[in-house]
Amino acid sequence: MIGESPWWKRTTVYQVYPRSFSDSNADGIGDLPGVIDRLDYLHWLGVETIWLSPFYSSPQTDFGYDISDHFNIAPEYGDLEDCRRLIDEVHARGMKIVLDMVLNHTSIEHPWFQESRSSRNNDRRDFYIWRDGRRAAGSSGGAPPNNWRSMLGNSGWHHDPTTDQWYWASFLPFQPDLNYRNPAVKQAMLDVVRHWLREGADGLRLDIFNAIFKDASFADNPFSLRPLPSEHNPDGFFQRALHTQNHPDTIAFARELRAVVDEFRDPPRFVVGEVFGHTDLLREYCGAEGQGLNLVFLFKSLRTPLTAPALRELVREFELAFPEPLFPTYVFGNHDRPRGMERLGNDPAKARMLAAFQLTVRGVPFLYYGEEIGLGHHHGMPHELARDPIAARYRFLPRWLLPSMRRRGILINRDECRSPMPWGVGPHAGFSSGETPWLPVHPDSPLINVDAQRGDPGSVLSSYRRMLNLRRHSPALSDGTLALIEPRADARRVLAFARMHAHQTARVYLNLSDRELPLDLRDAPGVRLQSNLHDTPEAASGRRLLAPWEAVVIFDTDGVAT
Ligand code: GLC
């Protein structure tokens, strides 16, 4: 079709956390053959692209975000054969696959780091960031080189006694940062990128991309009054992240990386960056003409309340910051954050509304596994048994601080949002036939699972499937521009916008309230109306009531492929 946007703008993405998705060999850990077993489900659901969190060789201290061999698969997830089969099976269903690229750091067990730390003269020494400490007289090791804090609040410098120097880690101490100022590192990591694109990845998700370059001056970060960072402001722990995050060299590197990704044209590929900062800064990663990262996560949506005024403001902000050829993203949960259902008070009516909003707005929707059935955040996992390395760090925090951190979206134990996918009513909700899954299943799984919702047209799952398929087959919803509409009804309760495409216009009305509200279509009828609550399309003229938490889409033509 002439003028159609590239596929990655029109797609819908579903994040699989492989460890928690489906266990095929009864060892309690989800794996790649398990994901393959569930592809028919994902295809039935109507998602077009799946993104897998890392499954490469790793000591699993941060469950794969600590890679020890970029070209191999961790045995608990399968082997290279399984990986190739997964890529082929995804493609055979007409779907796309996104792999996770952890470019910023490696595992401490990566051979590069093992060599690097062995002596100051090693050839790989400069693969990582080593500095002398600001030595206090008489002490061994002394003080760290400067005041820089890691993303988790402690000093990101770690003393290594073998060579009496300090290495830098933006995240946890066992994840040393690579030194991108060394051209050999950049080349080696771009080769990793090329390798997986050659293997058939359609897209790459870039882990903590905003940390890639640190300032070459190693000057102290300035003081800030902010105690805690947030999704849209990485300053925190009483310092500005001036020299450690969102460095201009990282933004320049986004373009270099994009040029590599664009070497692969058949089909075109894309990269989506995990970056934290103000919306306007995040846009810089994409470049004014879209010559940088294709997409960036806009995590502001993670904390926007589900109300008409708040969502209207969010859409306005994203539309202003990401006009064509740029494109926003909408995210309501991932493997690091409280599950979306948490904010919705575990109300299925609101989950059905979230599906309607996320799948009708202009921007690539990223769904997190389990969201489509309204899987809740798993509170009450005993902190002492936590597997997440972040939980271990916070074990000694005073209990009273935890609620305020939680309110800010800082998860103290990320296990809570990683509980196994509940497929049915069997043992461990059908996730594993082994004795003990790596994390316990959510206690609500007997009610909240795929089998229980599949045949029920009123379920959260049915709403997601309905909206995913509606978007997919509608040029306006998947590829149209967006204009906010002032609703005639109560603007505090109704959010309305139009999606416009050469071949179709769709108007969307979302009733974000517990009240029935009137919808008057006499002056602006359409040919078809689709609700998020049931399958049957209706005539779109006259008057109608919007049920509480109902969303409707009104199409002006029947240009909807089936
Ligand atoms: C990202 C990942 C998170 C990981 C961290 C370090 O934020 O999403 O899971 O722990 O980076 O790689």
User: What's the rounded mean pLDDT across residues 56-61?
Assistant: 98
DSSP code string of 55-87:
-EE---TTTTSS-SEEEEE-TTT--HHHHHHHH
Q: In the prediction, which pLDDT does 394 show?
A: 80
Q: Is 375 exposed, middle or buried (0-12, 13-18, 19+ CB in 10 A)?
A: buried
Tens digits of residue pLDDT in 308-359: 999 999 999 999 999 999 999 999 999 999 999 999 999 999 999 999 999 9
Mean pLDDT of the chain: 95
Reply yes or no on whether the pLDDT at 562 is more than 70: no
- The structure tokens listed for 40 are 């028919």
d(CA 223, CA 476): 47
Is residue 358 within 8 Å of 477, Cβ to Cβ? no
d(CA 116, CA 167): 10
Q: How confident is the model at residue 559 (pLDDT cuts 50, 70, 90)?
A: low
Nearest residue (by CA) to ligand 1, atom 2, is 207
Radius of gyration of the chain (CA): 24
Is residue 47 within 8 Å of 367, Cβ to Cβ? yes
66 Cα nearest atom in ligand 1: 12
Counting residues of the chain whose pLDDT is more than 70, the rounded percentage is 97
Output the pTM of the full model: 0.97
d(CA 463, CA 465): 5
Is residue 143 within 8 Å of 136, Cβ to Cβ? yes
- The structure tokens listed for 92 are 């055979």
Segment (H or E) for 472: helix 460-473
336 lines ligand 1 (CB under 6 A): yes
Which of these, 527, 549, 558, 531, lies nearest to 467 by C-alpha position?
Answer: 531
**Mind telling me the catalytic residues?**
207, 263
Q: How confident is the model at residue 486 (pLDDT cuts 50, 70, 90)?
A: confident
Reply yes or no on whether the pLDDT at 504 is more than 90: yes
User: What's the rounded mean pLDDT across residues 220-247?
Assistant: 94
Q: In the prediction, which pLDDT does 76 show?
A: 98
> Mean pLDDT lowest for which of 267-281, 296-310, 380-394?
380-394
Query: Looking at 275-341, which runs of residues are DSSP E strands?
Result: 295-296, 329-331
What is the four-CA torsion angle of 224, 229, 230, 232, rounded to 10 degrees? 50
101 lines ligand 1 (CB under 6 A): no
102 lines ligand 1 (CB under 6 A): yes
d(CA 397, CA 388): 15
Tens digits of residue pLDDT in 18-33: 999 999 999 999 999 9
335 lines ligand 1 (CB under 6 A): yes
Q: In the prediction, which pLDDT does 38 show?
A: 98
Q: In the prediction, which pLDDT does 138 show?
A: 55
Ligand 1 center to 527 CA (angstroms): 46
Q: Are strands 165-168 and 130-131 parallel, antiparallel or unpaired?
A: antiparallel
Tens digits of residue pLDDT in 391-419: 988 877 777 877 778 777 788 899 999 99
Tens digits of residue pLDDT in 84-118: 999 999 999 999 999 999 999 999 999 999 999 99
Residue 429: phi, psi to the nearest 5?
A: 55, 25
Counting residues of the chain whose pLDDT is more than 90, the rounded percentage is 88
